[in-house]
Structure 1
Amino acid sequence: MKELSSSIPMYEKIFNETRSLIETGVYRSGDKIPSEKELADAYNVSRITSKKALDLLAAEGAIVRMPGRGSFVSPDSPDGPRPGRAASAQTAERAVPAAKEKMIGLVLTDFSASYGTRLLYSMEEFTRKNDCFLVLRRTFGDQASEESAIQKMRGLGVDGLIVFPAQGEYFNAEILKLVIAEFPLVLIDRKLKGVAAASISTDNAEAAALAVNHLFELGHRNIALLSPPPRDTTAIEERIEGFVRAHADCGIAADRGLWMNDITATLPDAFYASNIEQEIQRIAEHLESHPDITAFFAIEYYIALLAKAAAERLGKKVPQDLSIVCFDSPTLNVGEGYLFTHIRQKEEEMGRLAIESVLGILAGTQPAAEVRLPAELVPGSSTAAARKG
């Protein structure tokens, strides 16, 4: 196994060492060099990393890649040695970023039918259109896993990173290091307060106000907010801000006594049957304690599912007895499943802009910027006029 102590990316280390073996004649014209798998095993890296090193050698003209047969040292041209033999180390350094295909790392908590799947499809489509590769790692909301994923992505030699940060009181140290090092980075759904890092998110405050105003139009006034603990998570904070602002704009008091902003069962590291049952029971008890509640505003889709289950446990019908509006919902075909009235985020556009931003930062043509996208309200089966009396 090769020594991994070098601070340079592993694909560049493999590129430089293989290139040196060609220049010094260890591998001669026409010789077959180790395969992607052999290099990956020798350096204890993934095949993505070894492939990138071989692609760089091929782009420089040092080797010829033949599908189904392997990679071979290029023959010398009639006018002199192949480019790899006479090039200096400085030329090799310049050759690395000149490769056509780039790798973009994506680190996210998780994805589901309600949110994330369309985002991924969009990112994959636009990386493919731009001759890039997308490398994915899920963290399931754990900040230690997030730090490890970022470190490993850097080790793979990714050219830029898109990060959907885990919820927590602070951003992890690896994200801050990326910002300080001016590494091409785009944050999804969150922003770094006071730090000039590129971010792309929904205008959560406006979107939340849109949902609440829909309930107001239906005659609801006693609306309970259901959310996870904000814990300095900008998306949740902004949705709560939009909820409060919508009340203020309409001259309606937002009764915080109706809120439940400590729901944890839907967080990635706590989504277990026992926790889910406990939260359903808590919401049911909250409803019993506050019989004047006519609607729930759920910060996310899975909390809306908990609220619906709690209401039905008490014999209440949605939406006749209780309306529910939420952020996100799976895309359903006609007659398939239950569609909540929900805020639909522009995941496809968010994915496209994230890829374009990373590539723009890499090319030096686009500064780090904060982008906020509007959302739309999608009427479903979970809202109706407020009950009388």
Structure 2
Amino acid sequence: MTNDSASKPMYEKIFEALRDQILERKYEVGDRVPSEKELGDEHGVSRITSKKALELLASEGYIVRQPGRGSFVAEPQEKSAAKATGSSGHVQQVPRNTGGKLLIGLVITDFADSYGTGLIYGMEDASRQNNSYLVLRRSFGNPSLEEEAIQGLLELGVDGLIIFPAQGEYFNAEILKLAITKFPFVLIDRHLKGISAGSISTDNAKAAIKGTNYLFELGHKSIAFLTPPPMDTTAIEERIEGFIQAHAENGIMVDRELWIEDITSALPQGNAEENRIRDIEKIMTRLRQYPQITAIFTTEYNIAQLALRAAAEMGLSVPGDISVICFDSPEINGGFPITHLQQNQVEMGKIAFENVLKLRAGHTLPTRTLLEATLILGDSTGPMKPRVK
């Protein structure tokens, strides 16, 4: 076995082995191929790994997956099909006229003043400096829309991709295809486990440590932690790790009873207003149950807004009764400035764009590039004062 083969992820090895068996007619059209469990047992891997391999085979058109029945070898696709692929596995690109300038696609969940707009500014600046163009598609956190956006940009003929993956436990098969075919792309704000792709993000753990230590310095010890479900989303996981590490380094016990890890209004699914009302009630309930809470650390700006609303409805003052800190915050003129950890979004976007160009030029890039966040003091934090029970 070559070193290159040894370094491949297991899902890729399983994909290639089963693909070759289909091409060699070991499995005929309509035959059932091994299930996730059977492949997992055969190769000694988890079902998540074997699932990735089967999803990739399905996305390449080798098999059809039928829920409750299994996976079956598909009819060979004609080269004239609308979504034809070349021998390398890339979607064939349509001719385009950009005057020789490169076209880089961006797939992003969404963007707002608090987070996302700065990323786009950085990418656009980099595109101008490099005489290139940036094309944007939003996925709204929907994996199906994300796949569709990637496919559409490839068909448009982009020369590279920047992807802000949707939140979720599994990354989509289109990203797997990009990794296997060595198409130039980088991930932003997320690092997807098991994917050999470069990513640019904030050093989330270090930032969370910085924010938590600041609350400790103000005398806070009982700190509620509010976050959407991590769902294998590395940015959230790392913020949780940093919060826990700061406690350990300061000899303070973490009390997870104070946490809320299912803030759903931060996610794109469901009725936004209903989720908001439900989340505010969750926060109020937690504050009533644990009157020792004197500070709240939230992983996102929108969740901090929920915390402020909950405190106001309970008649608690911020920061007199409760201090609130979060990641990111929009620039507010005449509003209530929140203490936050500011990510260097513009630099992150600039590096992402430039890294795609470097990949096209054949450069090898580090797997992860981490940028430091800056603690910005606002009016939402102050010295700890015991709450009246």
Q: Would you say the 8 A contact 2:83–2:91 is kept in 1?
A: no
Q: Would you say the 8 A contact 1:107–1:137 is kept in 2?
A: yes
Instruction: Write the letter of the residue equivalent to 2:278.
Output: Q
Q: Give the whole-Å Cα distance in 2 for the aligned partners of 1:314 and 1:171.
A: 40
Corresponding residue of 2:274: 274
Corresponding residue of 1:327: 327
Corresponding residue of 2:186: 186
- Structure 2, unpaired ranges of 5+: 1-79
Corresponding residue of 2:344: 346
Query: Alpha carbons of 1:387 and 1:281: their partners in 2 closer, same or farther (altered >3 Å)?
Result: same
Corresponding residue of 2:105: 105
Query: Alpha carbons of 1:339 and 1:198: their partners in 2 closer, same or farther (altered >3 Å)?
Result: same
Corresponding residue of 1:245: 245
Q: Would you say the 8 A contact 2:226–2:299 is kept in 1?
A: yes
Matches within 5 A, 1:365-384: 365-367=363-365, 369-384=367-382
> What TM-score do the two structures reach when normalised by structure 2?
0.75
Corresponding residue of 1:356: 354
Corresponding residue of 1:83: none
Q: Would you say the 8 A contact 2:94–2:155 is kept in 1?
A: no
Corresponding residue of 1:114: 114
Corresponding residue of 1:207: 207
Q: Give the whole-Å Cα distance in 1 for the aligned partners of 2:222 and 2:239.
A: 18
Specify the SS of the correspondent of 2:332: coil
Corresponding residue of 2:311: 311
Q: Give the whole-Å Cα distance in 1 for the aligned partners of 2:84 and 2:245.
A: 53
Instruction: Write the letter of the residue equivalent to 2:349.
Output: G
Corresponding residue of 1:58: none
Query: Alpha carbons of 1:178 and 1:12: their partners in 2 closer, same or farther (altered >3 Å)?
Result: closer
Which has the higher Rg, Structure 1 or Structure 2? 1
Query: Alpha carbons of 1:318 and 1:271: their partners in 2 closer, same or farther (altered >3 Å)?
Result: farther
Query: Alpha carbons of 1:5 and 1:153: their partners in 2 closer, same or farther (altered >3 Å)?
Result: closer
Q: Give the whole-Å Cα distance in 2 for the aligned partners of 1:3 and 1:242.
A: 49
Residue 11 of structure 1: how far off its partner (Å)? 8.6
Query: Alpha carbons of 1:185 and 1:368: their partners in 2 closer, same or farther (altered >3 Å)?
Result: farther
Instruction: Write the letter of the residue equivalent to 1:139.
Output: S
Q: Give the whole-Å Cα distance in 1 for the aligned partners of 2:142 and 2:150.
A: 13
Specify the SS of the correspondent of 2:383: coil
Stretch deviating more after TM superposition (191-200 or 371-380): 191-200
Specify the SS of the correspondent of 1:147: helix
Specify the SS of the correspondent of 2:262: coil
Identity fraction in percent: 52
Instruction: Write the letter of the residue equivalent to 1:152.
Output: G
Instruction: Write the letter of the residue equivalent to 2:137.
Output: R
Residue 6 of structure 1: how far off its partner (Å)? 4.1
Q: Give the whole-Å Cα distance in 2 for the aligned partners of 1:379 and 1:350.
A: 22
Corresponding residue of 1:143: 143
Q: Give the whole-Å Cα distance in 2 for the aligned partners of 1:343 and 1:253.
A: 23
Q: Would you say the 8 A contact 2:94–2:156 is kept in 1?
A: no
Q: Give the whole-Å Cα distance in 1 for the aligned partners of 2:356 and 2:331.
A: 28
Instruction: Write the letter of the residue equivalent to 1:352.
Output: K
Q: Give the whole-Å Cα distance in 2 for the aligned partners of 1:12 and 1:387.
A: 62
Q: Would you say the 8 A contact 2:292–2:386 is kept in 1?
A: no
Corresponding residue of 1:154: 154
Q: Would you say the 8 A contact 1:357–1:366 is kept in 2?
A: no
Corresponding residue of 2:258: 258
Q: Would you say the 8 A contact 1:115–1:329 is kept in 2?
A: yes
Specify the SS of the correspondent of 1:361: helix
Q: Give the whole-Å Cα distance in 1 for the aligned partners of 2:386 and 2:139.
A: 46
Q: Give the whole-Å Cα distance in 2 for the aligned partners of 1:250 and 1:350.
A: 31
Q: Number of matched residues?
A: 305
Q: Give the whole-Å Cα distance in 1 for the aligned partners of 2:158 and 2:117.
A: 22
Q: Give the whole-Å Cα distance in 2 for the aligned partners of 1:369 and 1:104.
A: 20
What's the CA shift string for 1:133-171, capped at 9, x where partnerless? 100000110011101110111100101000000010111
Q: Give the whole-Å Cα distance in 1 for the aligned partners of 2:271 and 2:245.
A: 31
Residue 4 of structure 1: how far off its partner (Å)? 3.5
Does residue 7 (structure 1) correspond to residue 5 (structure 2)? The answer is no
Residue 196 of structure 1: how far off its partner (Å)? 2.2
> What TM-score do the two structures reach when normalised by structure 1?
0.75
Specify the SS of the correspondent of 1:265: helix
What's the CA shift string for 1:59-107, capped at 9, x where partnerless? xxxxxxxxxxxxxxxxxxxxxxxxxxxxxxxxxxxxxxxx3x0110000
Q: Give the whole-Å Cα distance in 1 for the aligned partners of 2:107 and 2:192.
A: 16
Q: Give the whole-Å Cα distance in 1 for the aligned partners of 2:161 and 2:336.
A: 36
Specify the SS of the correspondent of 1:224: strand
